[in-house]
Structure 1
């Protein structure tokens, strides 16, 4: 089985307003460190193989890794590796997956009117959005605790002096697998559409509350399903090798890194090629997890950089095993094919 190359990923984005609150600065230096180490090993030991360092933008909703894959950036890769920091005790490394995620945008169009003179002539788009939000809130008690649904309102030129004729809602729907996420997303979208669609037989027969909401709002709705990230499919052979490396060099792996509920476009890459995405812990203040200012501070600390280098060395060792051990490479490919069967 011919090998082409092993790639390590360095993400290159930050969060508006709070900077590296997801620790992508550490992911960036991890990819560089691993690639330099692997390159030196290949040159010094005359190893036949290729090392690829892939800089990827826009993980936070932009699907940067997916766009690069579609443009051929992964064509010379057999295996893709990266890591990600999260909150937890020092030296924790785990191989948990992530949540699949879908972005959904909802737009309500109504009709404006003077709020004092003739509000009855308006069709309140904000009311429609609020009703939809409440519908989702009621639905939450019927979805699994492993699923996540969050939404926010957006609007322009809103003023209590007139009836809002346009409202936008942006939603994220997450679940442990893509199939589960898609099922939950259907139920969430029904909450948006039931607000206005009084001809829906489901409303007429079973949900008078929704029918009342439809009559009250009288608005039109547009639902757009945006980008989707799959859950990470951790390659078992690669994961077992990482655990073995960590055990021999640093002691047993501690799986206390708390980042299970997050999502990443690396999940999409793990669907199309063998991939490994360990999480590693960095010490943070209480309440200072990912996407908080506290994590921004933690991600720039010396102890966090030390933790990053530990997992980077382990990833380098895993990558070199792929390049130097034909049997192991077969096992990695076989594990990927077996996982494809399991996920259907």
Structure 2
């Protein structure tokens, strides 16, 4: 693996300037979930212009997703009947956050996926090794669960393993929380708030009551559980009894089983508020993000590589955020390292802040992204090249999955 590792490292370094340009273009024109059209086209144009040897599938299963595929077969190599090329997958995320742009660093995740994919492909060619690389462009991570939809469409079925990276103010390769989002609509009846409030049915009261119900519930929740949300009005005025309100609510827990229990209790809070106020209640439950579980051997080997090559230490602590990549880790062996980029104050400028938006376009963040991409590329190459390693990873993952 030493020669392959050297090829991967050198190749990623050669991509430095063009990926920096790519990242800054993406950062300058953020697009929210399901609307990543310009970002989608940026990827397609990049591969068409610079990497025509890849099979490019735009709009893969949905408008803003894509799939890039690369295969290498040594000259004279004949595939046996039913044989499948060893395959590693990588993910590039696309969406930004409303109002604050790439405050979760998806521009960095994007180039991390490109760098790792191209580097492994280059190593397969240079060292004449049979294998396949897939890069998926996955929309709507922040809300919507693009990877869940892609899983349902079979986008991951050919992969032996999958990897992606994610920036934060800290470095960890531990677990992440499961999450589900509820979109709750209360419908009441408007009336004049001064002359005839008794003729109205107050949808704002229902939302406020639900909020307070959940606030009381928090006392009985485990410390690792998170529940939070916002109330939205629709054509509200101070002299009108509100006839419509909406609540967007998120529930997080350490695993999908506990999440479902808390979700049921939170749903009761919403239903009770509708009953108490006389409002009709509609609950639209979005696809749940599973807790993220890094495959043990891949995670340990990634952390060891980053320590030995760059003296970077990765903790194994859980990070109290969530991602739809959690569902991927339940579908196949996968890793999702969280790597640190510099911010002015980690307490106030972490992910989902304007400070992190600024940090995500710095030269320092770019360099650290390429190092993290090198780490997952090395692990991805091992999955493709080393049959024994690939089988061990799969066996460990299957044993873990059987206990869930």
Whether the TM-score (by the shorter chain) exceeds 0.5 is yes
Aligned Cα RMSD in Å?
1.6
Paired with 1:107 and 1:249, the residues of 2 have a C-alpha distance of 52
**Paired residue for 1:248?**
308
**Paired residue for 1:210?**
none
Match of 2:376 among 315, 324, 332: 315
Pair 1:263-2:322 in alignment = yes
Q: Pick which of 14-23 and 240-249 moved more.
A: 240-249
Match of 2:332 among 267, 273, 294: 273
Is this contact kept in 2: 1:85–1:279, CA < 8 A?
A: yes
Using a 3 Å threshold, how does the CA distance of structure 1 residues 327 and 4 change in structure 2: closer, same or farther?
A: closer
Q: Name the SS for the 1:318 alignment partner.
A: helix
**Paired residue for 1:153?**
231
Unaligned runs of 5+ in 1: 198-213
Match of 2:402 among 310, 325, 341: 341
Number of equivalenced pairs? 320
Match runs of 1:152-301 below 5 Å: 152-197=230-275, 214=276, 217-251=277-311, 253-255=313-315, 260-286=319-345, 287-301=348-362
Match runs of 1:115-130 below 5 Å: 115-130=193-208
Is this contact kept in 2: 1:132–1:195, CA < 8 A?
A: yes
Listed one character per residue, the Cα deviations across residues 212-239 of structure 1 (whole Å, up to 9, x for unaligned) are: xx1xx22221222112110112101211
Pair 1:138-2:216 in alignment = yes
Is this contact kept in 1: 2:86–2:383, CA < 8 A?
A: no
Q: Name the SS for the 1:194 alignment partner.
A: helix
**Paired residue for 1:96?**
174
> Per-residue deviation at 1:285?
1.9
> Per-residue deviation at 1:259?
7.9
- Structure 2 length as normaliser, TM-score? 0.76
Pair 1:77-2:136 in alignment = no
Paired with 1:301 and 1:196, the residues of 2 have a C-alpha distance of 48
Match of 1:45 among 127, 132, 147: 127
Is this contact kept in 1: 2:186–2:274, CA < 8 A?
A: no
Is this contact kept in 2: 1:3–1:78, CA < 8 A?
A: no
Match of 1:36 among 118, 135, 145: 118
> Per-residue deviation at 1:2?
5.3
> Per-residue deviation at 1:71?
2.0
Paired with 2:372 and 2:265, the residues of 1 have a C-alpha distance of 40
Paired with 2:343 and 2:286, the residues of 1 have a C-alpha distance of 33
Is this contact kept in 1: 2:117–2:134, CA < 8 A?
A: yes
**Paired residue for 2:8?**
none
Instruction: Give 4+ residue runs of structure 1 displaced > 3 Å after superposition.
Output: 1-4
> Per-residue deviation at 1:3?
4.7
**Paired residue for 2:137?**
55
